Amino acid sequence: MKAEPRKNLRPREIEYLTLVAKGLNRREIAEVMGIAITTVKYHHEEMLRTLGARTDAEAVYEAFQKGIFKVTQRAIQTRSRRLTTSPRIST
């Protein structure tokens, strides 16, 4: 019998997803988080499972839809001035 899926991401999964949304790859994420690449893979799988996503892009989309991430007004203003800058993501 399978365990019920969790409804919320754990803090480290949110940290992982934030770094994914900022465009870091797994090796960079491991370095920033100070963990092994195998642990990054664990957080990745758990995050996808919890959000019901199949890809990182889907997971980021779900995070915005569920209110885990928000685009700040400052990010919108910055984005309108410099189109090459990615929006600031807050959790």
CA distance 81 to 75: 10
- How high is the mean pLDDT of the chain? 80
Task: Tell me the per-residue pLDDT of 1-35, one tens digit each, with 9 for 90 and over.
Answer: 444 545 788 889 999 999 999 999 999 999 999 99
CA distance 83 to 90: 19
> For position 1, what pLDDT does the model report?
46
Q: What is the DSSP string of 63-76?
A: HHHTTSSEE-HHHH
